[in-house]
Structure 1
């Protein structure tokens, strides 16, 4: 596969698998337990770099090894197989990856994986909060739950935004860029990943418009507190502007009042939850969760904005 970490902060070669594993653990790349299947010569290789909020490694153990990975905490791993093969075992499933395949492991993922002797893998560590923030900035609806990705392997695209951005990051010397530039590239890659891999997020018209700093500040605050009552006065205090200035800002930037903006975000989040969450039992519990106590008015507002009744959205999921 035509992807390689060509600009890196550290390189290790000619070592035993345990030395490579210890280096990654020391760099907080992810806890894991390594089991070497058979003795081998010290031929493990690793290239490693930090780029903005991302950590990237390209590694090959040079022998057949098994890794047991506990829940990873507050980050995702995008893994791309560059050569060889590996077998994943997770939640009773066995998944075989070949060269060119890729998969994203979520923060709560617990699995084991067996590397073939010729396996070479590129792994990108993405902090959970960073990906969540990136999703919001690019117009995705998020909640307090982690972003969930489809666990089915996907052939990593050989062209397009994800491929081009990843190659740019792999070839750039992080020491020559200021933190702001690295952060910009990392966010673009995060957006490309969200666009490439199936996940539980939906786009929102309410999030993809204004980029005024106060609107972004309020958007993040609202999305973090969607299930609570959010007084307009609190938003004015958050931005340190008057209530009148807040209303003028929203009229100019969104064409909505602050309350209508909050309501739209809640309605779009409810639509996403009714469309994707198999654990939802009925519309009433979701409406009450987000503060809609008048169910008749809620249904009318939902239909006006979404284009169908909430019961119709939920019914479509159950088919």
Structure 2
């Protein structure tokens, strides 16, 4: 059996190739979610009396709180990425503005679906960047973006308990929801309010009125807050030690004094205080 493993910025990624089958017992994975991409072969997971079979082409998650037995068929070729539950929880809080109590649970990805194809692309990108030891693996900002892409793809493409009733936000006008989605998807780009209105499908002035009525914020204020929350996520990420200037520029703040002032207004501490707190945690 051949195995290649690497860990960059808290993303553990490994490739396993085995010409012959084998059986293994796997410890509980309560602190991590494992994202698998079966390039060839077959895997049987046994947890108690339950058995789940995954074949070539499958993308699936696994985070069992129980000891489970794994049977690998011959000609196995699989890529696996480990995602920390605390990274997922912090990412979800940034996206939704609500703290998710308990573990983030994922369910089966529909086979041969656009979601599965999207996840295969993410896994191929990860494997190419991290396992092949490309220059990308040594570029902190690029790896941070790759980590965000992986977390975002899991939340968006894998069915999960985050979208269950009791956690999602109350319903709001469709145009406002479209504007929110557009800002979340493009917050790292230099977008204008005209771009947001175009994505919402209604005139800018109408959107501004509807958005403030629904959220209590202007479009600019909401977009700025999204970027500040992403900056805080980066500054408190235990797997990355960026400079404050790197994070500020990454999220569109060209004036460091203005970034520090707005960050302190939003979170009650300066950006460098967030870094120091992480280092001394």
TM-score bracket relative to the smaller structure: 0.5 to 0.7
In structure 1, the partner of 2:25 is 68
Deviation of the 1:187 alpha carbon = 1.1
In structure 2, the partner of 1:196 is 157
Q: Is this contact kept in 2: 1:141–1:201, CA < 8 A?
A: no
Q: Within the alignment, does 1:124 sit opposite 2:81 as a pair?
A: yes
Q: TM-score, with normalisation over the residues of structure 2?
A: 0.54
Give the secondary-structure state (helix, strand or coil) at the position aligned to 1:96. strand
In structure 2, the partner of 1:287 is none
Gaps of 5+ in 1: 1-43, 221-234, 242-319
User: Which of the two has greater helix per residue?
Assistant: 2
Deviation of the 1:239 alpha carbon = 0.8
Q: Within the alignment, does 1:178 sit opposite 2:191 as a pair?
A: no
Q: Root-mean-square deviation (CA), in Å?
A: 3.5
In structure 2, the partner of 1:82 is 39
Q: Which has the larger radius of gyration?
A: 1
1:100 and 1:160 map into 2 onto residues whose CA distance is 9
2:156 and 2:115 map into 1 onto residues whose CA distance is 15
Give the secondary-structure state (helix, strand or coil) at the position aligned to 1:104. strand
Q: Is this contact kept in 2: 1:76–1:104, CA < 8 A?
A: yes
Q: Is this contact kept in 1: 2:41–2:73, CA < 8 A?
A: yes
Deviation of the 1:114 alpha carbon = 0.2
Give the secondary-structure state (helix, strand or coil) at the position aligned to 2:161. coil
Question: Of the candidates 145, 148, 153, which is equivalent to residue 187 of structure 1?
Answer: 148
How many residues align? The count is 183
Q: In the TM superposition, what whole-angstrom CA distance separates every residue of 1:260-306 from its partner, at most 9, and x where no partner exists?
A: xxxxxxxxxxxxxxxxxxxxxxxxxxxxxxxxxxxxxxxxxxxxxxx
Q: Is this contact kept in 2: 1:86–1:98, CA < 8 A?
A: yes
98-107 vs 168-177, which deviates more? Answer: 168-177
Q: Within the alignment, does 1:212 sit opposite 2:225 as a pair?
A: yes
Q: TM-score, with normalisation over the residues of structure 1?
A: 0.49
Deviation of the 1:148 alpha carbon = 0.6
Task: Evaluate the alpha carbon distance shift between residue 154 and residue 161 of structure 1 in structure 2; reply closer, same or farther with a 3 A threshold.
Answer: closer
